[in-house]
Amino acid sequence: MSVAGHQPPPFFKRGPAPLLRLIFFSFLSILLLVLDLRFHMLEWTRQGVELVAYPLQLLAYAPMQGLGHGSDYFASVVTLEKENSGLRRQQLGTANRLLRQEHLELENQRLRALLDMKQRQSVGGQVAEILYAAHDPFTRKVILDKGTQQDITAGQVIVDELGVIGQVTRTFPMLAEVTLITDKEQAVPVQIVRNGLRSVLFGSGDGNLELRFLAANADVREGDTLVTSGLDGIYLAGLPVATIKHVNRDATYAFARIQCEPIAGVERHGLVLVLGRREALPPPPFEAEENDKPLRSKKQRK
Amino acid sequence: MTQPTHSSNRILRPVKGWFLSSSLILAMFLDMVPLGRTPGFPDWVALGLAFWCVREPLRIGMGTAFLLGIAMDVANASAIGQHSLAYVLLAYAAGRLSRRILWFPLSMQALHILPLLLTAQCIMVITRMIGGAQFPGMLYFLGSFVAALFWHPLTYLLLLPQYQPLEKDMNRPI
């Protein structure tokens, strides 16, 4: 400010110095990063911006969808017939089990009633389609075509015809974001079918999974199948998750390094089933007041 | 009359505001095209932002970069602040370079832009890895090299409206 009260002519006005602006915006960005990554306080911003950007995203997705439909249309009759007959054969092959399933379930219910055990919860599902993989290269997430409008809520489990794919982690009005089980931050409580050994399965980031914190002499073999244990109160018990591919028992580490590969087509696209919400488990006796948020337990790392 | 740069004697018309903003929106749109994890897909918003920061440093700067970054963060489902931090630094560097860079031919301009784009990507990797994410692999950085290759055609494309004379005058010297 000059003493005589002269303003510089508007021709020379350029606002604050670039370095000052750089420092201001960088600090603002870092503040937002901390608020989002550490405290998860910016979900409302996402909801707002997503609502505005949704039509744009649909428009961007349209050419890819058109391409997919086009290739479907021109798929030859021979391939379709082959696929059809294959599916029919598969259906007949599983019919035996499917027909007896209802009977077995009833029997199971009666037996459980006899033994005075808690009834197994039956859960419905909604079919949804994976639209595309999220653009963020640092995580493994996919976007579903159903959202809060179709009663999808965060925490629901996504399966395909073979096993667990992931879990809904964020919902928008028309879309839902699913974190795949191969994501580094995603943990699935599992047990080994053969001996019932419980553990937690983590994504290793390269499309495979890792069974951590099992002692080096634990009874784990290559080829073992892992299913969800259901102890977390979110996943239903008994859904197939992964098979053990490689067990490395190095005496220098306290834990065995166990690599697994997913059973379901985690990295493939197509139709998936969103399982309905499971009833919350009764709270454990000593931390009853903390257990009203079942999602929290999943978020805790390591 | 070889290159449409500062070294040429071609006089450009002033850029139109709507063209500038619509080119950036189109870049965002291109970034939203769901190609999954295809490596080498350039970050069009970063490229367009660098271009306009070099060409129009008084109109496009860190404020625009910040807002574009927030929009990209939400559209990409990444951490909020990740793109905005990278873009703000990119805009600052491109703005500082703009006086110098325009004296070079286009291929050398691309060589100036490449390290800026790589730095922006490095900032994103560092911020996310501090946040506990996994390393996306070296192929992630391929996008910047592809983007630098696009600098040459992009310059012609984005300066096209500024080449047109106001009225056609056959006797005009330029």
Q: Distance between CA B19 and CA B155 in Å, rounded?
A: 14
Tokens 């291109």: give the residue.
B30
In this prediction, residue A118 carries a pLDDT of 65
Q: Distance between CA B115 and CA A251 in Å, rounded?
A: 45
Q: Is there a contact between A32 and B72 (Cβ–Cβ < 8 Å)? A: no
A31 CB neighbours in chain B (<8 A) are 81
Q: Is there a contact between A244 and A220 (Cβ–Cβ < 8 Å)? A: yes
Interchain contact A17–B (C-beta under 8 A): no
Please give the average per-residue pLDDT across A35-45, as a whole number.
Answer: 83
Which pair of tokens denotes residue B73?
Answer: 């963060």
Quick: pLDDT tens for A192-244.
999 888 899 998 877 889 988 888 888 888 999 999 988 888 888 888 999 99
In this prediction, residue A301 carries a pLDDT of 46
Residue-level length of chain A: 302
B40 CB neighbours in chain A (<8 A) are none
Q: Give yes or no for residue A300 having a pLDDT over 50.
A: no
Nearest-CB residue to B133 (from A33, A56, A184): A184
Q: Give yes or no for residue B126 having a pLDDT over 90.
A: yes
| Residue partners of B95: CB distance under 8 A and separation at least 6 | A18, B53, B54, B57, B61, B62
CA-to-CA separations, A33 to A87, A178, B10, B32, B106, in angstroms, rounded:
48, 21, 44, 21, 36
Give the count of beta carbons closer than 10 Å to the beta carbon of residue A30: 14
C-alpha neighbours within 13 Å on the C-beta side of residue B127: 26
Mean pLDDT computed over every residue of chain B = 85
Interchain contact A51–B (C-beta under 8 A): no
Q: Do A25 and B70 touch (CB under 8 A)?
A: no
Q: Do B66 and A205 touch (CB under 8 A)?
A: no
Q: Do A64 and B34 touch (CB under 8 A)?
A: yes
* B71: DSSP letter: H
Quick: pLDDT tens for A99-131.
888 888 888 888 888 877 666 666 778 889 888
Q: Give yes or no for residue A22 having a pLDDT over 50.
A: yes
Q: Distance between CA A278 and CA A236 in Å, rounded?
A: 7
Confidence of residue A4 (pLDDT cuts 50, 70, 90): low
Distance from the B14 Cα atom to the nearest Cα atom in chain A, whole angstroms: 17
